Structure 1
Amino acid sequence: MSNTKSRSPVLSWIAFLATLAVVALCLRLSWWQLERAEEKRLWQASQEEKARQPAADLPALLADPAPLHRQAAVSGKLDNARNVLLDNRIRNGIAGYHLLTPLQTRDNQWVLINRGWLPRGARREQLPEIPAINGRITVAGTVYRPSRETFVLQNAPLPDNQWPLRVQKVDFDAIGEKLGVELAPFEIRVRPDLALGGHPPLPRPWQDIAPMGPDKHKAYALQWFALAMAALLIYVAAAVRNRRKTREEHS
């Protein structure tokens, strides 16, 4: 009987500290989601401001210290002989590539144009047919720069004189070295409805990806706050019940 009584305060303190830890964690996660919501709100405002700006040509984009997601209108000729295939791009459960073609402007500036998605062949060594686009064209789209932290299984050096060049990630410096030119440090993702060179538009799956908005983060914040309150209420209810039980045992 004495051992049970001596353990009771210890268990009460353990339950109190465990509840405190759970409540603190849930409140911290709730606050973090609110911070993310504010970041997303500012990001969306920035994107809306960029969308209202007129489309910029390549010199203007290169002069912009933060051109990401800006509207672009770039004119030049595509280098049909030296395409780049970005591997492991999945669309609707089908493996394929993003097709990036170098474009040369009148000023001899170069940028990669992401024309869209191509399915992989029945065998890996079978590369897809790439429609050639001849003559001078104007590409309308948005500026995109992939993360430098893209995970790949093996960072193998790019092969020499092997076109189309199949890559696991877009390294603008390495690809520019293979092309023998200085590439812009970003790509232009073509507008979804834009047909190039009279060919039907390729699927452009990046247009279907909608980032999580601030309202979603606020909903998650509310859920974490509710979990914190639930943990606190469960502890209080258990403590009241235990105290009532103790009184009954001593009465």
Structure 2
Amino acid sequence: MSGFRRPSWWALLLTVAGALLFVRLGVWQLHRADFKDDLLRRYAAAAAAPLQDFAGVADTPPADGFPRVKVDGHYLADRVYLLDNPKHDRRGGVQVYAPLALDGHSPLLLVDLGFLPGNGSDKPPQVPPLPTGKVSLQGLYVPPPPVGFEMGGNALARQTQWPKSSIFLDPAQVAADLGRGLYPRVLALDPDPAAIYERERNLDFSSMPPARHRAYAFQWFTFALAAVVILLVVHRKRKPRKSDSAKVDDVP
């Protein structure tokens, strides 16, 4: 360390504290990436899992699981919701949701019918009529779509015609709009080649996928390294310039 000056205690403390914080944030981002990778694997595996009793998971679903269930009931066929999320802009379509009244149960189950491709215009695609009689459905019992800030507040409350459209589908707003409680999760129907809807088996990590967590981890680790490098650069001893040495030699 002969080429470096001894740093002050506060500079050393600040550098160590900052580097440790950046490393901790980087490790946390790596853990989040691994957690989401594991969720994606279990979500894909759940598609082939045996059916479970919906009553056993309806109100208290497993926090880290996606039960595959079967339910019987009837649609509120005139109460359809369209998720016109920005992530659909490239395809020009909507995600379609409809409430299902289960036999002998008061809460409604929101059903994710799937993605309905657009028709090439700015208007939402025409939603096919839903069956009005009793239906038997099966699919994954998954968390509702993520919500965010929507300009203007509750878009559903401002609409008087159905289907209603929103860029976010807040379960609390849907429940208030329907005047009935909802189950905490939604039913994502199993893929059906004969259905007009496209049903993809993936989780919505569009805002923060595992790869982005790893990119942020690399960024935090880079900050930690930069803090150490800055400390070394600032406290590096400077060699005297030749002009300064010559002036010293000229002094009698």
The TM-score bracket by the shorter chain reads 0.5 to 0.7
Q: Structure 1 CA distance, aligned partners of 2:218 and 2:120?
A: 48
Aligned residue identity for 1:144: P
Q: Whose helix fraction is larger, Structure 1's or Structure 2's?
A: 1
Deviates more, 1:64-73 or 1:40-49: 40-49
After superposition, the CA RMSD in angstroms is 4.3
Structure-1-length-normalised TM-score: 0.67
The SS at the match of 1:245 is coil
What is the total number of aligned residue pairs between the two structures? 232
Corresponding letter in the other structure for 2:113: R
Contact map agreement 1:33 1:221 (CA 8 A) in 2: yes
Secondary structure of 2:23's partner? helix
Tell me how far 1:188 sits from its aligned partner.
2.0
Amino acid at match of 2:184: P
- Aligned-pair CA distance for 1:150: 1.5
Aligned equivalents of 1:43, 1:207: Cα separation in 2: 9
Identity, in percent, stands at 21
Deviation by residue 1:91-146 (Cα, 9 ceiling, x = unmatched): 3624442210112222345211112223456665x442112343523231241134
Aligned to 2:113: 115
Partner of 2:98: 101
Pick closer, same or farther for the CA change 1:236–1:92 going to 2, 3 Å: same
Which consecutive unaligned segments of at least 5 residues does structure 1 have?
1-8
Partners of 1:61 and 1:67 within 8 A in 2: no
Label 1:68 to 1:75 Cα distance change in 2 as closer, same or farther (>3 A).
Answer: farther
Change (3 A) 1:22 1:58: same
Bigger mean CA offset, 160-169 vs 227-236:
227-236
Say if 2:56 is the partner of 1:60: yes
| Paired residue secondary structure (1:56) | coil
User: Which of 24, 27, 30 lines up with 1:31 in the alignment?
Assistant: 24
**Secondary structure at 1:129's aligned position in 2?**
coil
Q: Secondary structure at the match of 2:95?
A: strand
2:144 touches 2:171 (CA, 8 Å); kept in 1? Answer: no
> In structure 1, what is the equivalent of residue 143 of structure 2?
144
CA distance in 1, matches of 2:51, 2:148: 28
1:70-85 mapped onto 2 (5 Å cutoff): 70-73=66-69, 74-85=71-82
Return 5+ residue gaps in structure 2 as ranges.
Answer: none
1:175 to partner: Cα distance: 2.4
Task: Provide closer, same or farther for how the CA distance between residues 90 and 45 of structure 1 changes in structure 2, counting only shifts above 3 A.
Answer: closer
User: Structure 1 residues 98 and 182 mapped into 2: Cα distance closer, same or farther (>3 Å)?
Assistant: same
Are residue 186 (structure 1) and residue 185 (structure 2) matched? yes
Residue pairs, 1:126-141, within 5 angstroms? 126-134=123-131, 136-141=135-140
Query: Against the structure 1 CA distance between its residues 144 and 29, is the aligned structure 2 distance closer, same or farther, given a 3 Å change threshold?
Result: same
Q: Offset at 1:22? A: 6.0
Greater shift, 24-33 or 38-47, is seen at 38-47
Q: Distance in 2 between matches of 1:96 and 1:65?
A: 30
Note the 1:1-251 alignment, pairs <5 A.
17=11, 21=14, 24-41=17-34, 48=42, 51=46, 54-64=50-60, 66=62, 69-73=65-69, 74-91=71-88, 93-109=90-106, 110-119=108-117, 126-134=123-131, 136-147=135-146, 150-156=148-154, 158-159=157-158, 162-191=161-190, 193-195=191-193, 198-202=194-198, 204=200, 206-207=202-203, 209=205, 212-213=209-210, 221=217, 224-225=220-221, 227-233=223-229, 235-236=231-232, 239-242=235-238, 244-245=239-240, 249=245
8 Å CA contact 1:30, 1:220 repeated in 2: no
